[in-house]
Each structure stands twice: as C-alpha cells, then as structure tokens.
Amino acid sequence: MAEKVIIMGGGPGGYVAAIRLNNMGFETTLIEKNRIGGVCLNIGCIPTKALYKSAEVYNQFSKLESYGLDLEGTVKPNASKIRERKNDIVDTLVTGIEKLLSSAGVEVIYGEAKITGPNSLEVNGEMMEFDRLIIATGSSSFIPPIKGVDQEGVITSTELLDFTEIPEELVIVGGGVIGMEFAGIFASFATKVTVLEALPGILPGVDGEIVKRLKPLLKKKSIDVKTSMMVKEIVQENGKLKVISEGAKGPVEVYGDQVLIATGRKANVKGIGLEEAGITVGRKGIEVDENFETNIKGIYAIGDVNGKWLLAHAASAQGEFVAEKIAGEHPVIGKFVPGCVFLFPEIASVGYTEEQLKEENIEYLTSKFMFGANGKALTMGEGEGLIKVISDLDYKIIGVHIMGPHASDLIHEGLIACEKGLVADDFKDLIHAHPTLPEAFFESVMGLKGEAVHMVKPRRK
C-alpha cells in the first residue's frame, strides 16, 4: 500500500511537490484554503509582471520619436483594461495548474487545515491521517505597528493589484523588491511616487554598485526615494493621507491618495497546529534541517514558511527535493538562487555581492561591461546599465549582477557559471551570437583576465 502524503498549501512549492510525489507512486492529497497557485500566481509574481508589461509598453510609447516613429493622438493607461488583462493571465495559469494536478491524479481539497498531531490533521471538520506531511503554507504581508496603519487607503500589495483607478499620488513604505517594483510600475503610469525606507539604502541584498547606479535612473523617472526614514504615523488630511516620518534631519511629511505598506513578508505559521504537533518555529519561520525536515520526523516545511528564501522558484525547487527525498532518492538542490527585480531597467543577481565578500574577508576580482557598448542594447533603445561579474583570485565565477534590458533572462548564464564552478577560461571558446545581449556577459567574463576585446583597458598608473 502506497504511503499517504498530505501537502498543506497549493502554491509553487506545494503543487510541484504534489505532482512529483504522485508521479512517483505516492497517494497524495493537496489542501489549499484559497486558490491553487498561492501568493506568487494569484497576488504576487505573475500579476505584478502583468502590470509591469503594461507599464513597459506604455513607456515605449513615450519614446516613439527616438525610434523614428510618429504617433497622432495620445496613449493613456486604462485601469480597468489593465486589471482585466492581469486577471485573464492569472486565470489562465491557475486553470492550467488545476488541470496538471487533475491529470497527475492528485486529490485536491479546498479548506483550512490544522495539524492535530504528528500523524494527523483536520480539514473541513474531518480528521485525516498521513505518513508524511509537507507544510507549504507560504507567507503574508507584514504590517508594522504604525499609528493609523489600519485606516482606509492604507493598503498592501494584494489590494493595490486590484486597483480600479490609477492614483495621482502614491506613498510606498518600504524600499525592498515589492515596494520598488510597484514604484516603477505606477511611476510609469504618471503617478507621483514617494518611497520611504527605514534602512540607509533600498533593495537590501542587491549589490551596492548596482543600487548606486540605479538611483539616478529612479530620479529621472520622478520616483522620490527617501532613506533612513522611520514612519511614525499616517493621518487623513484634506482628502489625502499624510505620512509622518522621522529622518536624520527631523520630521518629514509626504502626501498620497494611497499608502502601500511594503515592509516585507512573514511566514504563515499561526493557527495551523504547529504547537499541537510540537514543531519548532524560529524567528523567520519553521525551522528545518538540510533536507527541509522539521524536528518532527516525517514532517517537512518548504517555501516561504521556512523563511530561507522568499522566492517562488526556491519553493518549487524545495518541493521537488523533498518529494524525491521521501521517495528514497538522493536529490541535490542548488546552492545559488537567482533573484530578479522588475524595474526599469531590470535588475538580476546571483551569488556573492561585493559587500558580502568584504564582510567575509574574501579576496576577489570584478569586471564590468556596459550595455551602452552592446549593439543589441543600443538597437533596443536600452543602453543603460551593465553586467558585473565577480570571481575569486583563480577566476572562478562566484557572483553575477545585472542591471539592464532582459536582466531576468540573462542571469541564468551567470547562474550556471556560479553553480557549476566555471572559470573565465571555460567561456573563452563559447561563441555567443551577434548581435545579442549575452555578448555583454561574455565580454564581462573575458574582462576578468583582461582579455575582453570590446572593453577599453584602464590606463596604467
């Protein structure tokens, strides 16, 4: 008789684990309290990228003259049509995953599950037993204890994604990935955007040089970024929301039609019975070992709920890993997890940043190639940005950081280099097509040893 495996949560970690397990012969049940696809598909990655594309196309129209094109009349964003397009994309993908689960033979139960013991849980008033359990309950928006944060017009990304009109003024509390992506989207639609970040800089974890080069581009797009700002209170004033912050030079007041709270996410660990099962929870989420197993044998936690990487692709990788582990295989999971920020231009990173290397006292080399010297980028009208490659002293690539066109696609050549321990010479005989954007990565890698043909050599001192 096949082992019974239950998965709590139908997001990118849960549904991938369910399909993989069922394909390997396990009796698999997936429990989802809302909608298959989780945060990423329904109220995260996919809908924001749908809005991003609408903003990107709108941006292109503002630059038609630079392409030698004339347009009679005006182009303006239509909030309801943008939202409808976003919803259609989400619905298509959700339906597709539902069909995948059905074709794989996974039993799907809609309801809220609560663990009742090391081998049982309750859902919709019924008790269910399991041999193995995978907790994949994800995360939700973290709302800081700011005075006035609960009033109308103060929203999270979930509400903003369902916008019915484009705000004239938007204040964003939090300069991480979520906050900055929404800043870029709505600034493109001519919204006046102000970002308030408590830390000294935005996009923590992104290579410092990339962030430094991004700042003037944000300013050019009229995104006002204020760092080292502690938000104290939000109040209604003359039909607007006034956000009162404390900065290095004293109080700062900014106004908006809406205030987006984008101060990070927290693991969904409340009310799911972790205490009853004796599962250990840490500061970031459920504590797991190198196999993503909790302190209770046979119970695993994957994705955002374990707090390791709050990324959909990391959750999916963990889901496959755990499924194969349960099946008695010897899976391997990547050490390097790429991250992308969908701004204008895009940012993507994998591996070490310079800041991390300095903190760990690791010696390194860097090489940079500017998109302004790449033929394909210039034909696209997107010559801003660069590809930065970091290696150790033996030229082994340990970090790649990109700001520029299609950075989210280009980063995967860097991922392979980091994950497989490739050195600069491994790329020397790889002929990159011309004219393409990946040529910029090739030139940056060749620059590590001073062998890049299209890079101006620094003057000797």
Q: Annotated binding site for NAD(+): which residue ranges?
A: 174-181, 197, 264
Consecutive H or E run containing 95: helix 79-104
Is 330 labeled as catalytic in the residue annotation? no
> In Å, what is the CA distance from 14 to each residue of 46, 137, 378, 414?
17, 8, 42, 28
187 closest CA partner among 159, 163, 221? 221
Percent of the chain as helix, strand, coil, to the nearest 5: 35, 25, 40
Say which residue the tokens 């090489």 belong to: 367
Q: Which residues are annotated as a binding site for FAD?
A: 49, 137-139, 304
Q: Which of 401, 406, 432, 434 is catalytic?
A: 434
Contacts for 299 with CB less than 8 Å, ≥ 6 apart: 118, 132, 133, 134, 135, 277, 279, 293
CA angle in degrees (0–180, nearest 5) for 4-287-268:
75
Q: Using alpha carbons only, how large is the chain's radius of gyration in Å?
A: 24
Q: Is residue 345 reached through a cis peptide bond, with omega within 30 degrees of 0 on the bond before it?
A: yes
Residues belonging to the binding site are 49, 137-139, 174-181, 197, 264, 304
Distance between CA 228 and CA 11 in Å, rounded?
Answer: 34
User: Vertex 157, ends 108 and 408: CA angle to 5°?
Assistant: 85
- For residues 189 and 337, the answer to whether their CB atoms sit within 8 Å is no
Cα separation, 258 vs 242, in Å, equals: 10
Q: Residue 199 — left, alpha, or beta (φ > 0 → left; ψ -120 to 50 → alpha)?
A: beta
3-state secondary structure of 255: strand
Peptide bond into 145 cis (omega under 30): no
Q: Report the distance separating Cα 22 and Cα 27, nearest Å.
A: 6
Two tokens at 457?
């050599």
- DSSP string for 366-379: EEEEEGGG-HHHHH
Rounded to the nearest angstrom, the gap between the alpha carbon of residue 43 and the centroid of all alpha carbons in its chain is 12
Query: What are the catalytic residues?
Result: 434
